[in-house]
Amino acid sequence: MKLLFDTDAFCKLGIASLLEDTAHIFGATLQECGRLYALSFMLRKGRLRNLYGGPACDALIPVANAIPVVPEPSDTWLEKLTAIEAIDPGEAQIFAVAAERGQPFLSGDKRALNALKGVDDFIPALDGRVVVMEAVLLTLCDRIGQDEIRQRVAPLTSVDRMVAVCFSDENPNPSDALVSYFQDLETKLAPLKLWDPRS
């Protein structure tokens, strides 16, 4: 697997029709990426449907089913995270698999990442493999164009504050705003080292 998606990032990129484009950044197809086992079930009922709406979730189910499930991590890595309240079981699984296998992962859960930065063993294991939405959107703006990305992320402006700010009609240059958000995250999440599209 070349990129692991957490549930939040999968949903947002899926609704914006940017999942395949995101995989391509990492030289992958969606079939070479990974997602949580529970994702398909979560799209059928519960929080995701309340947040994104039934039709959007229904459209994402076949996409999710086409992506392989991430393997089970070893207890060695998982046990380091189980007692941390801010990291839910799904995020813990993705963090542990990424650390154990040296794989990049895309997480939209800033609270979980903020907790992860305090777990010393994960800092070297995830060096440069922590991918955030800001970095992905910045890369896609360069590759596809800001106007195209602005159109695609329009459905997310009601559920994602960062997207709403960066791609607002009043903001002529989303990339500048994305860089600002990304740099702020770099500072806040240190010593975790983020995947940097500019390097």
pLDDT tens for residues 2-21?
999 999 999 999 999 999 99
Q: Which alpha helices (DSSP H) does the chain contain, by range?
A: 7-15, 19-25, 39-44, 47-52, 54-65, 75-78, 89-101, 110-116, 122-125, 133-144, 146-153, 161-166, 174-189
| 185 vs 196: CA distance, rounded Å | 11
pLDDT mean across residues, the chain: 96
Question: Which residues, listed in sequence order, are joined to residue 3 by a DSSP beta bridge?
Answer: 33
Enumerate the domain spans of the chain.
Answer: 3-189
pTM tops 0.75: yes
Query: 15 with 56: CB under 8 angstroms?
Result: yes
The model's confidence at residue 92, banded by pLDDT at 50, 70 and 90, is very high
pLDDT tens for residues 144-169?
999 999 999 999 999 999 999 999 99
